[in-house]
Amino acid sequence: MITRQAFGTTASGIPVEKITLQAHGLTASFLTKGVTLQSVRLEGVAHDLTLGSDTLSDYEGKMRHHGSLVVPVVNRLSGGRARVNGAELAFERNQAGKHTLHSGAAGGQHKVWEIEQLTETHVTLGLRLPDGEGGFPGNRHIRARLSIGPGPALRMEVTAETDAPTLFNAANHSYWNLDGTETWAGHELRIAANHYLPTTEDFTPTGEIAPVAGAMDFRRGRVVTPEDTVLDTNFCLSGGRQALREVLWLRGRDGVSLTVATTESGIQVYDARNAARPGRGFHEGLAIEAQAWPDAPNHPGFPAIDLRPGEPVTQVTEWRFNR
C-alpha cells in the first residue's frame, strides 16, 4: 500500500509531500524534497529505525542531508575541481572554502522532486538538472524508484541520463539507530571490505588504497562505541559497479538488524560527530552511504564515475531488516 499526504511548504514556497510505502511488515516514508527517507518502522519494534523529523524546516536547516538522496555527486571533490571529458571544471567550494561537498547548493537533496509514477507497489520520483548548474555539465534526468519487498526490505533504484559527458555518484544519506537510543553505542558493525581510503585532515582521500587493519577492520564484525570508533570513511567493496550483493551488517543491542546490499563499489560510514537533529546530541546514528569511491575524478586509480550520453547509469541499494 502507498499513501501520500502534504508535508508543508519550503521556504521558497514549493509544496512538499510525504509518500508512505507499507508492505511485508515494513513502513517507510519519503519526502518529495530530496527523496528524503523520513521514517522507517518495522512491525513489532516501537521506535523509528532512522533519524528523521516531522518538521520540514529541519530539512532545510541542520538536517539538510539527513535521509536525503545526494546527487549528482555525493561526498567530496577535492579543491572543488575535476576533469570531465578533457576539460578542467570548477564547482562550488562549500566545505571550508576549499572543497566541494555533496555537490554544494546545486545538490538534488535541496530540491523538490516530481512524482513521475505511483502504483500500488512502487513510486518513482524524478528530477531534471540543467546544464552547468553548480558547474556540472549536461542536462540530466535522474529518477529514484522506491519499493518494498520481497520481505521487509526497502529498495531504491537510482537511474541517471545526460546529454553531455558529466559526473554522477549518488547516495542515500540516512542515519541509523536500531535501538532508538541517544547514541549508536553498543551496535555491532560488520563490513565486507578489505581496503579503505585514508583521508587528509579535510576528509578528502589521500589517494592511498589501504588494507583494513586494527580500528578500520570490520570484516568479522564488532561492537562499536563513539569512544573507540571514529569514522568518516569510505570502505572499498570492489573496483567498480557489481551485481547487487550484501556488503554491510548492523545489529542493535535488542536484536534488530539491518543488512545493506548494493551494486556500488564503496560504502561511506560516518559517525555523526558533527551532525545532530534539533534538540538531540551528536553520535545519535550512523550514516551509511552506499556509493562509488569519493573524489574519483582526481585519482586515476579509483573507479570512474563518468556519465555519458546514451549510457544510463543505475545504482541499486536495498536495506533489509530483521528482528
Biggest alpha carbon–alpha carbon distance for the chain: 54
Segment 14-27 mean pLDDT = 99
Mean pLDDT of 234-241: 99
Mean pLDDT of 181-192: 98
At 67, the pLDDT band (50, 70, 90 cuts) reads very high
CB atoms within 10 A of CB 195: 15
Residues 56-83 have a mean pLDDT of: 98
Partners of 260 in the β-ladder: 248, 319
Band (pLDDT 50/70/90 cuts) for residue 134 is very high
* Residue 60: CB atoms within 10 Å: 17
Q: What is the mean pLDDT of residues 115-121?
A: 97
pLDDT (0 to 100) of residue 42: 99
pLDDT digits (tens, 9 = 90+) for 245-258: 999 999 999 999 99
Beta strands across the sheet bearing 36-42: 2-9, 15-23, 26-31, 36-42
Tell me what the pLDDT averaged over the chain comes to.
98
What's the mean pLDDT in 194-221?
98
Q: How far is CA 123 from CA 33, 80, 114, 181, 192, in A?
A: 14, 34, 11, 31, 30
Q: What is the pLDDT of residue 44?
A: 98
Residue 120, judged by CB atoms within 10 A of its CB (0-12, 13-18, 19+), counts as exposed
Q: Residue 307 carries which DSSP code?
A: E
The neighbour count for residue 52, using CB atoms within 10 Å, is 22
- Sign (positive/negative) of CA torsion 107, 112, 117, 118? positive
Residue 219 and residue 193 in contact, taking contact as beta carbons nearer than 8 Å: yes
Looking at the chain, the whole-number percentage of residues with pLDDT higher than 90 is 100
Average pLDDT of span 183-189 = 98
Give the model's pLDDT for residue 131: 99
Percent of the chain whose pLDDT exceeds 70: 100
- pLDDT-based confidence at residue 142 (cuts at 50, 70, 90): very high
At 133, phi and psi to the nearest 5?
-65, 125
pLDDT score for 223: 98
Measuring CA to CA, which residue among 209, 191, 213, 214 is closest to residue 199? 209
| 280/283 Cα distance (integer angstroms) | 9
**pTM above threshold 0.95:** yes
Q: CB–CB of 137/17 below 8 Å? A: no
| Number of domains the chain contains | 1
**Cell 550512523 belongs to residue:** 286
Residue 247's H or E segment, with its range, is strand 245-251
Position 168 scores a pLDDT of 99
| Contact of 7 with 14, CB cutoff 8 Å | no
**CATH classification at residue 210:** 2.70.98.10
Residue type, 249: W
> Cα separation of 118 and 253, whole Å?
37
Domain membership of residue 72 as a residue range: 2-322
